Amino acid sequence: MSDVPTVVRTPAELAAVRGEGTVALVPTMGALHDGHVQLMKHARPLAQTVVVSIFVNPTQFAPGEDFEAYPRTLDADLERCDEAGVDVVLLPEVATMYPDGPDSGVVVEPGPLGRVLEGEQRPTHFRGVLTVVAKLFGIVRPDVAVFGEKDFQQLVLIRRMVRELSMGVDVVGCPIVREADGLAMSSRNVYLGADDRARASVLHRALTAGVDAAPRGAEHVLAAARAVLDAEGVVPDYLTLTGPDLDEAVPGQEARLLIAARIGTPRLLDNIGLVLGPTTHEGA
Ligand code: PAF
């Protein structure tokens, strides 16, 4: 397709430019940063047409969360899409995505996995995410969809939705893109004041301490990560070690260390993959 992305706003406009070839979708809420650019670049060779959707989805924000304040940077976003070789940018209105209003209509329930970790703090969040992703899949009909690993629980739930609802979309996860000090890139990092921005790398330092301890087993991973947090006086909402599908971590296998903590105003999420050593029962 052409070099400059075509901007469309409705399912009919999207259908008119979609073509019959393979399509890769990168769903976003805008405020695009280098992490999003990596998703777009990852998508580029996967399909003939790359579509980026930009939609700040009201149903994944609870009352009192930052839906109104969420950064909206459309002009800069379109430039980033252009630079990354995106073909089509889908900019739907709320009324297009939720014709009967955000609180009415069919929803996708995530099940028990949507109620733990992030879901414990934000019980309606993943219903909103899965519902809007299902709607975007219906509009774009992608062959492949690309998501960042930073929102790891979201990625696992989207994979499950696609599998359990036989949606026929290949879901690809991309590694987290980090700032020089290790902070995971996020549109919400703009909420960090200067002092908190300097402290925020503690999450990544805790995770890498956990990775270093991985050969000694799960208890050591958690203890090492927690020691780094304690030294900075950070009390996480959760720090947990799971299997690669948020199932139980198994000694000797791949695992995921996940953390969420409030640093100043924003609540930051991060995670890292590791391979656990065999369980040892020596003292920590
Ligand atoms: O990860 C995000 O930006 C959003 O949760 C998503 C997947 C675009 C759904 O609104």
Q: For residue 96, report the phi and psi dihedrals to the nearest 5 degrees.
A: -75, -40
**Residue in 89, 132, 150, 155 to alter for ligand 1 test, most ligand atoms within 8 A of Cβ:** 132
Longest dimension (CA), the chain: 64
The pTM assigned to this predicted structure is 0.96
Give CA–CA dist 178/184, Å, rounded: 4
Return the bridge partners of 206, or none: none
Give CA–CA dist 64/81, Å, rounded: 31
Residue with tokens 């799971």: 242
Q: Is 171 in the pocket of ligand 1 (CB under 6 A)?
A: no
Q: 233 alpha carbon to ligand 1 midpoint, in Å?
A: 31
Give CA–CA dist 39/169, Å, rounded: 16
Which residues are known binding-site members for ATP?
Answer: 29-36, 148-151, 177, 185-188
Q: Is 54 in the pocket of ligand 1 (CB under 6 A)?
A: no
- pLDDT 10s digits, 103-126: 899 999 999 999 999 999 999 999
> What is the token pair recorded at 273?
């993959």
Give CA–CA dist 19/238, Å, rounded: 44
Predicted local distance difference test score (pLDDT) of residue 284:
34
Q: What is the mean pLDDT of the chain?
A: 96
Q: Which residues lie closer than 8 Å to 23 by C-beta, 6 or more apart? A: 47, 48, 49, 50, 51, 140, 141, 142, 143, 144
| 220 in catalytic set | no
> What is the token pair recorded at 251?
């000694």
